[in-house]
Amino acid sequence: MITVIQATNRPDSNSEFVSRQIDELLKKNSNEEIGHISMTDMPPEILAASSYEAEHIPEALQHMQDQYMIPASRFIWLLPEYNGSFPGVLKLFIDAVSVRKYDETFRHKKSMLIGIATGRAGNLRGMDHLSGILIHMKSIVYPRLLPISRVNELMDEEGRINHGPTLRTLEDHLKGFIAF
């Protein structure tokens, strides 16, 4: 299973639209089951201090972990740029799921990072930040980071990337990760 993780809880975000397009591209180019986690689905209870105790992790979060994280052999992390990094809700999610079944969730699983930004750097810093965290958690990070810059200029009215060179690069990147 490949699980796509969309890293912002902002509704109708560019990264949510791109993550759905990635789901479609994966279904077209891979025979693996595709899972999808969006930070928009995070239960508000993860903010409680008790979430750092395995027996108090919210049921909705346990379900996401059991259905989409533990069975996955690979993750695609879609990271919008927030203040020179990635959204804090993603770090909170990682911290919360690491309390329960840490090794089963992260150890030796492959991770690919895609940065999304309306600016020109494609969230390179955020991808570097998350790479360090994932390596610490014993995940294997795909060595090709993919920054997608000025994403708002590459999308059509329906929120789909329609810029030919960017779309070809994204498909090539996904094919490389599938073979990794």
pLDDT band at 135 (very low <50, low <70, confident <90, very high): very high
Q: What's the whole-number mean pLDDT along residues 16-30?
A: 92
pLDDT band at 9 (very low <50, low <70, confident <90, very high): very high
Tell me which amino acid residue 53 is. E
Domain that holds residue 83: 2-179
What does the radius of gyration of the chain's CA atoms come to, in whole angstroms?
15
Instruction: Return the pLDDT at 113.
Output: 97
Q: What's the whole-number mean pLDDT along residues 24-47?
A: 90
- As a whole number of angstroms, the distance between CA 110 and CA 177 comes to 9
Output the domain CATH number for residue 121. 3.40.50.360
Q: What are 70-115's pLDDT values in tens digits? A: 999 999 999 999 999 999 999 999 999 999 899 999 999 999 999 9
Tell me which amino acid residue 55 is. E
Its pTM stands at: 0.93
- As a whole number of angstroms, the distance between CA 13 and CA 159 comes to 9
Counting the structural domains of the chain, the total is 1
